[in-house]
Structures are given as C-alpha cells and as structure tokens.
A and B are shown apart, each in its own frame.
Chain A
Amino acid sequence: GESVGLHLPTLSVQEGDNSIINCAYSNSASDYFIWYKQESGKGPQFIIDIRSNMDKRQGQRVTVLLNKTVKHLSLQIAATQPGDSAVYFCAENIGDYKLSFGAGTTVTVRA
C-alpha cells in the first residue's frame, strides 16, 4: 500500500505487504528529519532519522528516502504487520532547536 501525492491521511495495507508513507516538507533549509510512530494514547516513538547529506537510510524493516529536489520524504515498511497499525509522523528540523511535525498518516493493517 502507498500514500500517494503530497499526503494522504489514511493508508490501508494488507498484512505482509510493503507500506510506503509519503511526506512533503515545506522548508528547503530543513536538514534533519525524523519519522515517528504514534499508537493511540501513547507518545510518539522514534523510528528512524536521516540527515540531508543522505538520500537513503535503512533500519530494521524500515527505509527512509529523502528527495531534497522536490522536498519529499518517504518511509517504507517491509512486510507490514498488525503491530505497525498507528499514526506515522514525519518531523523536520530547520536548523534550530525544534521539530516541525506534519499532519500524520494513519496506517491500518488488514489481516
């Protein structure tokens, strides 16, 4: 399953399939990005980060891709599992102390 375009608030994916969550960031000065996963009633959980001098970074079952030309970030989750159901946020740092968060994408995994 894939959220296409700038942003889709929801993504439904079959268990076992790969998920792609997209995020468009606004500031060309942003040079550090983090993906967070947030389950209902809990705080955001760090998944993976990437700096602007990289195009790709891989973690366990997750890959983040950064396209600075079009200011686009994506999170790929391999072999999506029911425990991956959550809201996913991309966050950017524009060179100061804070993170700016996107609106989030709700991922629902179908059994």
Chain B
Amino acid sequence: DTGVSQDPRHKITKRGQNVTFRCDPISEHNRLYWYRQTLGQGPEFLTYFQNEAQLEKSRLLSDRFSAERPKGSFSTLEIQRTEQGDSAMYLCASSSGQGARLDTEAFFGQGTRLTVV
C-alpha cells in the first residue's frame, strides 16, 4: 500500500454523463499528479498540482476535464459529458519537493477504472 488512495476503484457510466473521481495523496506530499492509462500503454500525464495551485495541464486535458485541489490536500478530477474514448484507468500520484522539477519518488494510487458505455 503506497498510501495514495483513490475512489472509486471502478466506475461505469453512460455516455454523456458526468463523473468525478477523488484522490487522497500521502499526507506529507505537497505535489499531486493525475495520469491516464489505456490498455497496453504506459501512463500519460494529465495535470499537476503543487499544494493547491494547478501548475501544468496536458493537451490531453480537454475542456471537458477539470481538476481541483482546493485545500492542497485531496484532489478531484471531473469529466463532463463523458465519451467512449474517455474509458481508461485514471491514476493519481503524489510526491514531495520544493524545486522546479520532479526529482523525488512519485507514488501512485490504485487508480479508478472508468468504462463509458
């Protein structure tokens, strides 16, 4: 158990519905990341928070996606008007650090498996 908790573990939704996922990072970690992983591929970066500030967003994060980390602790990832192409594993990771780059261990949660039908 890495200490990063994600909820729910699985979500099945109908196309067009909105979904929200939650991530609780390791408590002392100030950095939080969201990644997406499709079958047979490595994780792809979506977005990054340092404390409550969202510092970077991937081009993969369309305007239907929004992420928040309001108090610098847990984070939520919302997908509006889901499409079948959104079906994937959504992974959250956390790490510590103060510099301008990732240079310490990043630990992942178990992920939320989203299936859009």
Contacts and interface: CB of A to CB of B under 8 A. Distances in A.
A63 to B, nearest CB: 17
Given A44-B43, A46-B2, A97 B105 contact: no
Contact of B101 (A41, A45, A95): A95
B48 A102 contact: no
Contact of B110 (A34, A42, A46, A104): A42
Counting contact residues on chain A (CB < 8 A from B), the size range is 20 to 34
Contacts, number: 70
Contacts of B2: 43, 45-46
Nearest to B9: A41
B17 to A, nearest CB: 23
B102 interface: yes
A89 interface: yes
Which 7 A-B pairs have CB atoms at the shortest separation, nearest pair first?
Answer: A101-B42, A43-B108, A98-B45, A43-B110, A97-B48, A44-B108, A43-B111
Interface of B: 2, 4, 6, 31, 33, 40-45, 48, 50, 55-56, 58, 89, 91, 100-103, 105-111, 113
